[in-house]
Amino acid sequence: MTIHTIHDAFCQRVKAAPDKTMAERPGQASLTFAEGLSGVGSLAAALVARGVVKGDRVAVQVDKSVEALLLCLACQRVGAIFLPLNTGYTASEIDYFVGDAEPRLFVCRPEDLERLRTAMPGTVAVESLGARADGTLLDLAASLSPVTQATPVSHDDLAAILYTSGTTGRPKGAMLSHGNLATNCDALLTAWRFTDQDKLIHALPIFHTHGLFVAANMSLAAGATMIFLEKFDADTVLDLMPDATVLMGVPTFYSRLVQSDRLTADRVSNMRLFISGSAPLLADVHLAFRAATGHAILERYGMTETCMITSNPYEGDRRAGTVGFPLQDVEVRIANREDGTVLAQGETGAIQVKGPNVFGGYWRMPEKTASEFTDDGFFITGDLGRFDAEGYLHIVGRDKDLVISGGYNVYPKEIEQLIDEVPGVVESAVIGLPHPDFGEAVTAVVVAQAGAELDEASVIAAISAGLARYKQPKQVLFADALPRNVMGKVQKNVLRDTHAGLYKGEGELSGRSRSR
Ligand code: MCA
Ligand code: AMP
């Protein structure tokens, strides 16, 4: 199958099987593909009514719903650029995105509508969309004749902008084209043998690549059914397994599932595939899952800027601790971190990627974009890795200062800047420490002024107001000084080594109980 755009592939699926269930949603009526298409047409009309034209950005910060997914397709229908935002972002975080992306329309949760209509610049229309098919955008859509013709787009036209934070602390909008999304979806459908016979348990958020451009796009393009869950809950997912075929999740899904004695080979007998990505899956979890179910979790590797890059094989050995082989048409190489020369198999270095999956650059940041590509067009991922003798890619570390907590990226710089402004703080360093549930726990190491009355609670309280919950430190440690190298750079590896095993809740976290 060759996909031109996800919207086109979806429309073909509607034609082929209009009455097929597109999404089951516990507690609400299911939706067929034909109903989905009708929703897309109406939402597209609402976009047009709010002045959205080809190339305009539509920013969306709403709770997960099938309608939000239809809104993404409606953007594609009118050639607009979908800009999903983490529901955890606070008002000050949102201000930045709106200032940078200058959306024509901002779609928010119903409870935020009044506030945002006052707060947004006059150039931005504001409508709401709720999780139970409610909100002003749907009211507007229902009053209009649907848009039935798609605005023509090319492979290079932008389909989405996804913000990722940066080592400078300033988020960057990764510009993803229709071609990026379509070719990657195509490659994944083939690699994972995903078809209209599949029923996917969709428990990921839909404001990031994993839940939106991997899980949802594949289901829409293949004509598969999604069981669309508001969020991940291990017991709910276990309840649904006998009726489903595929689960895609971050490692935390799997580390929580293996703790349940309900995870058995019997329960998963209808499931054909479990996929993990967004953060490293511990080999222990891989093995425990295999022991409980007989299934080897298929681990893959991707990035917002590149969509999916590599995958363990569908047929063949899925190796714990590796992320497998490059996907179809994707080139991956390992380069020397200092001089950029390409390294031989077995050597460890910077992972670089080229292919139709790689984004066009950062929104309105040409210099930043240029600095992250090599002269011959490879994107520098910031991850470190090596290929083993059989060609499996191993990710061995990160060249970028990044913590990944439960699959969410947290850039230390952003948190350090806030902590450093707290009265009584001399300086700080934010690191990730091993955490049994989230993989890494955001941890702040703070140097306080002599006599300053600071403790963990006061530091967290001082920075929390403007910071999404998942970015807030799970623990704050105090030190007399930060270790530095001869260049004066803070040695975070030394801090990680010194404090490894010091995660405060480690002991109590070995069951299902979790602290902050
Ligand atoms: C929730 N909390 C978190 C996280 N999630 N803290 C740190 N890291 C997190 N990821 C906070 C909650 O606000 C709460 O705080 C406390 O931790 C416990 O919440 P809990 O109920 O356990 O959380 P949850 O609602 O069950 O969520 C955990 C989760 C969720 C299911 C792992 O974070 C999740 O769905 N993550 C997926 C992220 C994702 O889709 N990443 C893909 C990015 P309090 O109790 O204090 O209020 S795309 C990507 O990375 C690339 C492209 C790729 O390769 O895929
Ligand atoms: P994001 O910027 O949210 O797209 O996160 C991308 C980053 O997640 C990558 O650069 C990797 O560091 C990490 N990542 C994604 N998948 C994996 C994986 N399977 N194993 C290890 N790290 C991963």
pLDDT in tens, 315-350: 999 999 999 999 999 999 999 999 999 999 999 999
- The pLDDT value recorded for residue 506 is 47
- CB of residue 432 inside a 6 A radius of ligand 2: no
Both tokens of 178, joined, read 């229709």
Both tokens of 124, joined, read 């931005």
Among 145, 178, 211, the domain boundary falls at 178
Q: Which domain holds residue 327?
A: 232-398
1 within a domain of the structure (yes/no): no
Tell me the mean pLDDT in the region 240-252.
98
- CB of residue 208 inside a 6 A radius of ligand 1: yes
Looking at the fold, whether 255 and 392 belong to one and the same domain comes out as yes
Looking at the fold, whether 471 and 357 belong to one and the same domain comes out as no
Cα 416 to Cα 297: distance, rounded to the nearest angstrom: 36
Looking at the fold, whether 313 and 421 belong to one and the same domain comes out as no
Looking at the fold, whether 308 and 366 belong to one and the same domain comes out as yes
- CB of residue 252 inside a 6 A radius of ligand 1: yes
Sequence-ordered alpha helix ranges (H) in 105-242: 113-119, 136-142, 178-191, 209, 217-222, 234-240
Amino acid occupying residue 308: M
Tell me the mean pLDDT in the region 19-24.
98
Residue 260, pLDDT > 90, answer: yes
Expressed in angstroms and rounded, the spacing between residue 230 Cα and the centre of ligand 1 is 13
Among 375, 398, 421, the domain boundary falls at 398
Looking at the fold, whether 263 and 321 belong to one and the same domain comes out as yes
Ligand 1: residue whose CA is nearest its atom 39: 407
Cα 274 to Cα 233: distance, rounded to the nearest angstrom: 16
CB atoms within 10 A of CB 239: 13
Contact 273, 192 (CB under 8 A): yes
User: Which residues have a Cβ under 8 Å from the Cβ of 508 and sit 6 or more positions away?
Assistant: 515
Contact 74, 43 (CB under 8 A): yes
194 within a domain of the structure (yes/no): no
Contact 405, 431 (CB under 8 A): no
Sequence-ordered alpha helix ranges (H) in 1-122: 6-16, 33-49, 66-78, 91-101, 113-119
- The pLDDT value recorded for residue 170 is 76
Pocket test for ligand 1, best of 250, 304, 404, 460 (most atoms within 8 A of CB): 250
- The pLDDT value recorded for residue 489 is 87
pLDDT in tens, 379-395: 999 999 999 999 999 99
Looking at the fold, whether 373 and 446 belong to one and the same domain comes out as no
User: Which residues have a Cβ under 8 Å from the Cβ of 38 and sit 6 or more positions away?
Assistant: 146
434 within a domain of the structure (yes/no): yes
Contact 312, 336 (CB under 8 A): no
Q: What CATH number does the domain containing 475 carry?
A: 3.30.300.30
Pocket test for ligand 2, best of 204, 253, 404, 411 (most atoms within 8 A of CB): 404
- Rounded to whole angstroms, the maximal C-alpha distance in the chain is 72
339 within a domain of the structure (yes/no): yes
Residue 515, pLDDT > 70, answer: no
Tell me the mean pLDDT in the region 13-18.
98
Looking at the fold, whether 255 and 327 belong to one and the same domain comes out as yes
Looking at the fold, whether 76 and 151 belong to one and the same domain comes out as yes
Looking at the fold, whether 51 and 166 belong to one and the same domain comes out as yes
Tell me the mean pLDDT in the region 224-247.
98
Query: What letter would DSSP give residue 216?
Result: I
465 within a domain of the structure (yes/no): yes
Domains identified in the chain, total number: 3
Looking at the fold, whether 316 and 421 belong to one and the same domain comes out as no
Sheet with 246-249: strands ordered across: 28-32, 21-25, 225-228, 199-202, 246-249, 273-276, 298-303, 307-311, 325-326
- CB of residue 38 inside a 6 A radius of ligand 2: no
Expressed in angstroms and rounded, the spacing between residue 278 Cα and the centre of ligand 2 is 4
Cα 475 to Cα 27: distance, rounded to the nearest angstrom: 37
Expressed in angstroms and rounded, the spacing between residue 496 Cα and the centre of ligand 1 is 22
Residue 251, pLDDT > 60, answer: yes
Pocket test for ligand 1, best of 163, 180, 210, 430 (most atoms within 8 A of CB): 210
Contact 161, 174 (CB under 8 A): yes
Looking at the fold, whether 241 and 297 belong to one and the same domain comes out as yes
- Beta bridge mates, 440: 434
214 within a domain of the structure (yes/no): no
Looking at the fold, whether 304 and 439 belong to one and the same domain comes out as no
Ligand 1: residue whose CA is nearest its atom 3: 470
- The pLDDT value recorded for residue 1 is 61
